[in-house]
Amino acid sequence: MKMPSTIKMYCPKCKTHTEHEIERVKKRKASELKQGQRRFRRVMAGYRGFPRAKPEGREKPTRRITLRYRCKKCKKAYQRPCIRAKKFELIGG
């Protein structure tokens, strides 16, 4: 899927349609302090095996892509619900 790097859309802060820059959101490193990760580390410690079964079947054909839209006028950023695509590319400058 090809998408332009700038589009005109509604900005709730400016309360008008303005130019927005689009950027792809990268996944950050998961926190080691979250409850699920702490539970996983506790279960993995010692002589026990892996706590969950391996996923069966093949990989999904598409990936979820998260986009961040930043208003060029007020510099406020917004995220819309994710889209699914096999390939994703931002075009234009």
Count of residues in the chain: 93
36 DSSP 8-state letter:
H
**Cβ–Cβ contacts within 10 Å for residue 79, how many?**
10
Q: What is the pLDDT along the chain (93 residues), one digit of tens a residue?
A: 999 999 999 999 999 999 999 999 998 999 999 999 999 999 999 888 888 888 888 888 999 999 999 999 999 999 999 999 999 999 986
Phi-psi region of 29 (alpha: psi -120 to 50; beta: other; left: phi over 0): beta
CATH architecture of 2-48+59-91: Roll (3.10)
Helix (H, G, I), strand (E, B) or coil at 10: strand
Side-chain-side CA neighbours of 32 within 13 Å: the count stands at 2
User: pTM for this one?
Assistant: 0.75
